[in-house]
Amino acid sequence: MALFDAKKVKDQCVLWIRKFFEENGPDCNAVLGISGGKDSSIAAALCVEALGAHRVIGVLMPKGEQHDIDMAYLLVNHLGIKHYEINIQSAVDGLLESMPEELPFSQQAKTNLPPRIRMATVYAVSQSCNGRVCNTCNLSEDWVGYSTRYGDAAGDFSPLSHLTVAEVKEIGRELNLPAVLVDKVPIDGLCGKTDEENLGFTYEELDKYIRTGVIEDQDKKQKIDTMHKRNLFKLQLMPSFDPTEFEQ
C-alpha cells in the first residue's frame, strides 16, 4: 500500500472545496459545528484554506456545560473565524418534556436527540448566513456507522468522508493546527465515553483493516464487518418508490 501523502491530499481537498463552492454557491459561506475535536477542527481549517477565514462560520453547541468547550474556542480563535455559541440544553429538555407519557421513548432516541438538534441548529445558522453546511464525518466512523443519521451525518459537502482517522490526523498536522486539537482523544459527546470504549476496538485497528484488509483479532473483525453491513443504509440515498419499475 502506498504511503499516504498528507500534503498532496490536503491540497487536493482544498481545490475540491473551492470547486464545490464555485458550482454550488460562489458567494456562500462554509458553516459547520465546532466540537473541539479533530474532525471539526480539520474540516474548518480546510475550509479556511480553501475560502478564507472570512467565509467560514463555526457554531459551538454545548448541551448545558461542556467540559472541553475551551478546545472549540482554541480552534475558532486559532483560525480567526466568526463563530456563535448556541446552547441546546433547553431545546433538548423542551422536546423531552413534550413527549407523551404513554410513548415508550427509547434510550437510543434520547441519545441521538442532541446531535439531531445540533444539525437543525447548524442549518438554521447556515440559512441565516448564506451558507453551505460542512459535514465532518471521517471514513473510519462512517465505515462502522458511528454517527447519527440526520444528525452529525448530515451536511451539504463532506471533505473527510474518504479519509481514515489516521489520515485525517496527518492532514491536521499539515495544516499546522495545535497538536492538542489533532491528537485529542475522541469522545462521542453523548454518553461521556471515548469512541474506542464504545466501539470495542481502536481506530488504529479499524484504519488498518479498512486500508489493508488485515486484522489480527477475529472477534474484532467480525464485529467491524457486522457494524459495517448493518449501517450501510446510513450512507445511501433514501429508497424511493418508482412506479416505472413496475412497468418493465
State pLDDT tens for residues 1-21.
568 999 999 999 999 999 999
pLDDT confidence of 106, banded at 50, 70, 90?
very high
- CATH match for 6-247 among 3.40.50.620, 3.40.50.12780, 3.30.70.100, 3.90.1150.10: 3.40.50.620
Between CA 212 and CA 92, with CA 231 as vertex, the angle to 5 degrees is 125
pLDDT tops 60 at residue 104: yes
For residue 83, the Cα-to-chain-centroid distance in whole angstroms is: 18
Percentage of residues in the chain with pLDDT exceeding 70? 96
pLDDT tops 90 at residue 193: no
Q: 136: closest CA among 115, 153, 113, 116?
A: 153
* Percent helix / strand / coil, the chain, rounded to 5: 55, 10, 35
Measured distance between the N- and C-terminal CA atoms of the chain, rounded to whole angstroms: 45
**The pLDDT of residue 192:** 63
CA atoms within 13 A on the CB side of 38: 24
Domain map (residue ranges) of the chain: 6-247
Mean pLDDT of 183-196: 71
pLDDT confidence of 189, banded at 50, 70, 90?
low
Measure the CA–CA gap between 126 and 135, rounded to whole angstroms. Answer: 13
pLDDT tens digits along 115-170? 999 999 999 999 999 999 999 999 999 999 999 999 999 999 999 999 999 999 99
Q: Where are the beta strands (DSSP E) in 15-81?
A: 29-33, 56-60
Q: 79: closest CA among 124, 30, 150, 128?
A: 30
For residue 201, the Cα-to-chain-centroid distance in whole angstroms is: 19
Reported for 193-198, long-range contacts at CB under 8 A and 24+ positions apart, including other chains, are: 195/141, 195/146, 198/146
pLDDT tens digits along 28-73? 999 999 999 999 999 999 999 999 999 999 999 999 999 999 999 9
Q: How many C-beta neighbours within 10 Å does residue 173 have?
A: 14
Q: How many C-beta neighbours within 10 Å does residue 37 have?
A: 22
